[in-house]
Amino acid sequence: MLLAKTLKELGYEVREAANGREALEVIEAEKSTLTLVLADWNMPEIDGLDMLKRLRRNPALSSLKVVMVTTETEIDRIAEALEAGANEYVMKPFTPDILVEKLQIAGIHP
């Protein structure tokens, strides 16, 4: 909820999902208007890394910017997400300024 609130305050239109499976359904349904996906590595049903890999394999969704937002801080995990196609990686806890910086690095602007 904090992440959604922060993004809304920055001018982003936000869609939320309770788990990875629901997130994929939302992404598929709204693919023509989405430009950014924030995925938590530890989502239920389908984790963020698996969701990222599925997005990258789908030609209609592979160009979406994906930022992993997670408590996973081990360098191997970060490398795994980036190698799988994440555009950027944000470690929890983070400040709104860090989020903005990471989005800008990923080429995302409100």
Three-class SS state of 28: helix
Distance, CA of 41 to CA of 52 (rounded, Å): 9
- 35-79 tens-digit pLDDT: 899 999 999 999 999 999 999 999 999 999 999 998 988 899 999
- Topology classification of domain 2-105: Rossmann fold (3.40.50)
- 8-46 tens-digit pLDDT: 998 899 999 999 999 999 999 999 999 899 999 999 999
Q: pTM score, two decimals?
A: 0.90
Sign of torsion, CA 44 55 81 93? negative
Three-class SS state of 18: coil
For residue 33, how many other CB atoms are within 10 A of its CB?
A: 8
